[in-house]
A and B are shown apart, each in its own frame.
Chain A
Amino acid sequence: MGTLLVSEKTVVVPGQELATGMDYLPGFGAYRDGEHIVASQLGLLSVEGRAIKIIPLSGKYIPKNDDTVIAQVVDITLHGWRLEINSAYSAMLTLKDATSDFIARDADLTAYFNFGDWIVAGVANVTTQKLIDLTMKGPGLRKLGEGMIVRVGPSKIPRIIGKGGSMVSMIKEYTGCRIIVGQNGVLWIQGSPEGEMLAAKTIKEIEQHAHRSGLTERIKEFLGQFPKPEAVPLPPEEERPHRERRPFDPNRRPMRRSGGFR
């Protein structure tokens, strides 16, 4: 018969024995050593049925498939864009994954995403060598316009989002800001200057108290200390990369076929 040696939701330390017996299974941040399940990460203990896992309290972003991240363009290559995603590895956004537009061979890629631009992208694929492919195909994935970038520890993101997005929608509602949360610990805020400042301050407050319970109440109180910022009309959400379209010319030269000698 297995026994749990530490109670749930307590902070555990690497090398700490969590449970004995073969009834329990090691999940994320834990491993089995003979009779014992041992922690291999600093974090909060969580038990789901037979599985024992650890919710990390710190650590850098480790990319996973289907994550939504906020990334910055750092390089433009022949095949697409290289982006910084606040992790040990940079990510690649290929032309094919970036847009469904036709892009000519000699097109200027900065017309789509320029150096320093921020974009919300999805993680399409991560290899064992941590080569990361991003994609812009998906709802809400786009280039980001004017706004504010805030960085927090990636392990704090679930608390900032809250159950079913309750926490982030509360901040959005109170500050009148548009907020996009990237799984990589980067957040984008757009709104009035006062609204943006308050939203950023609130997010920092959440980060500081992320390991405590009753967080939503605490943040509600925190927001209440400040006057509600005046709502301002926000610019249109969709900032699609665009290219100049040539007007249709009925007498234009037929399109060249690919293949063969030209």
Chain B
Amino acid sequence: MKRIDGRKPDEMREMSAKAGIIPRADGSGYFQIGNTIAYAAVYGPRNLYPRFLQDPQKGILRVNYNMMPFSSKGERVRPGGNRRSKELGLVIEKSLLPVVNLYEFPNAVVDVFVELPQTDAGTRCAGICAAAIALADAGIPMRDLVAAVSAGKAGDTVILDLNYEEDSAEEGADIPVAMTGRSKEITLLQMDGRMTAEDLRKAVQLCRKGISQIIAVQQKALQEKYAP
């Protein structure tokens, strides 16, 4: 079976990644998968105000997700936050939290800004991949890298890395999965749509394979920044 864009069911879109591309940030990452592009900039650890947000035991991770006005396929995205962007910021934050060691920065904050200049489904996954690169580039202590990709269904087949057409199809499902690079622990699992338990297992297995490939791309991006 071939997909709309000619891919095999378990084939991901073309990927590329870069580290340290935003000079004024403490760390930054770029991740592109197909027509979805995500930039992430990390600032901090830095002072956190208002003070009631401070945690004297550990630092705080704060993720801001933003789709640029011209980024979407259809209408212009109204600038500024909305319900969706707030949720996705939170989702990205929760999927990164298990790997970062914030106990070294009590009362401080690490800010991550995820910006999407071009989108074609899978933005939260691309955002997670870019943010993981940016955090590592910023020298934040991390147990592992994190990568994410989505799986779904087209007809009876379980497919990996949905594009916009596959994602918005009437039938089928969309399952974003984030995993740590080495131990393959799941840090994010969401589902939109319907799927049998059997297919879900298959989808997670597909994502697991895809994530291994993404981790390799992320590692290469980080190492290339310091290539001689």
Contact = CB atoms under 8 A, between A and B. Distances in A.
Interface of A: 11, 13-17, 29, 31, 33, 38, 40-43, 56-60, 62, 88-90, 128-130, 155, 211-213
Closest 9 CB pairs of A and B: A59-B139, A15-B144, A58-B139, A14-B142, A88-B108, A88-B45, A15-B181, A15-B182, A11-B226
Contacts of B145: 13-15
B101 A40 contact: yes
A129 B136 contact: no
Contacts of A31: 143
B142 A15 contact: yes
A31 B142 CA distance: 10
B105 interface: yes
9 contacts: A14-B143, A15-B145, A15-B180, A40-B101, A41-B142, A57-B139, A59-B138, A60-B26, A88-B105
B222 A13 contact: yes
B119 interface: no
B143 A88 contact: no
A71 B107 CA distance: 21
Interface residues of B, number: 36
B222 A42 contact: yes
Interface of A is mostly: loop
Contact of B106 (A15, A16, A38, A130): A130
A47 to B, nearest CB: 18
A13 B228 CA distance: 16
B140 to A, nearest CB: 7
Given A13-B223, A88-B47, A88-B108, A59 B140 contact: yes
A88 B26 contact: no
B142 A58 contact: no
A128 B56 CA distance: 10
Given A40-B101, A59-B138, A60-B44, A89 B108 contact: yes
B45 A16 contact: no
Nearest to B19: A42
Contacts of A212: 228
Interface in B119-174: 136-145
B118 interface: no
